[in-house]
Amino acid sequence: MATTESMPEQTKHAGIPLAEFVEDVDSYMQRASNESAEVVLKRLDEQHNKYKFMEYNLNTKKARLKSQIPDIKTSLDIVRHLQSRKDSTDPVETRFLLSDQVYAKAKIPPTEKVCLWLGANVMLEYTIDDATSLLEKNLDAASKNLTQVDDDLSYIRDQTTTLEVNMARVYNWDVKRRQATQGAKS
């Protein structure tokens, strides 16, 4: 994974905050904001839940992109095929999906224009060249977004692991502190 040193951590990973690794638990627990182990563990648990929520959203986005990319590729292949046949006088014979398991046969005459669904119940007519250009741009953007989401997911897993290690270290520190306190009382 290549990193860009000049780019701040926040913009590289969709605003996912960096989890500070607690190397020295004793000095970490001396900070003014860390009243007790319970308070620290609660704060770390809240941050852990935020990471899990972000991870869920990124996985949802990844699934959407993974289903979108094949659709864009299929549309691009169809438009390119129509583009290759636009100078021909013979119609293109094809079958197209009406609904699940229901297909219809069609003869498509040579054409200079196609209609593309843009989403949100919007369809626009484009020239074949413009449609090809738009679909190539959309495919490139979706592929880049998928790569970025994968990178963000990897980053958030690293942050989650760091946070879980911190939680375990603070918990173990608290257990040792309590054992020492009870040993001193005995």
| CA proximity to 104, closest of 90, 113, 112, 94 | 94
pLDDT one-digit tens code per residue, 125-182: 999 999 999 999 999 999 999 999 999 999 999 999 999 999 999 999 999 998 988 8
pTM score above 0.85: no
Residue spans of alpha helices (H) in 21-127: 25-29, 37-84
CATH architecture type of domain 36-85+113-181: Orthogonal Bundle (1.10)
CA distances (Å), origin 133, targets 64, 66, 128, 129? 22, 21, 9, 6
Q: How do the domains of the chain map onto residue ranges?
A: 36-85+113-181
pLDDT value at 92 more than 90: no
* pLDDT digits 0-9 by tens, 26-66: 999 998 888 899 999 999 999 999 999 999 999 999 999 99
Q: Is 1 a residue whose pLDDT tops 70?
A: no
